[in-house]
Chain A
Amino acid sequence: DTEVTQTPKHLVMGMTNKKSLKCEQHMGHRAMYWYKQKAKKPPELMFVYSYEKLSINESVPSRFSPECPNSSLLNLHLHALQPEDSALYLCASSQGPGQQETQYFGPGTRLLVL
Chain B
Amino acid sequence: SQQGEEDPQALSIQEGENATMNCSYKTSINNLQWYRQNSGRGLVHLILIRSNEREKHSGRLRVTLDTSKKSSSLLITASRAADTASYFCATDFTGTASKLTFGTGTRLQVTL
Contacts and interface: CB of A to CB of B under 8 A. Distances in A.
B40 A43 contact: no
B97 A97 contact: yes
Contacts of B45: 102-104
A97 B98 contact: yes
A98 B40 contact: no
Interface in A67-114: 88, 90, 92, 94, 96-108, 110
B98 A56 contact: yes
Interface stretch (B14-22, B58-66, B69-77, B99-107): B99-107
Interface residues of B, number: 25
A63 B45 CA distance: 30
A48 B99 contact: yes
Given A42-B3, A56-B99, A90 B48 contact: no
Interface of A: 4, 31, 37, 39-45, 48, 50, 55-56, 88, 90, 92, 94, 96-108, 110
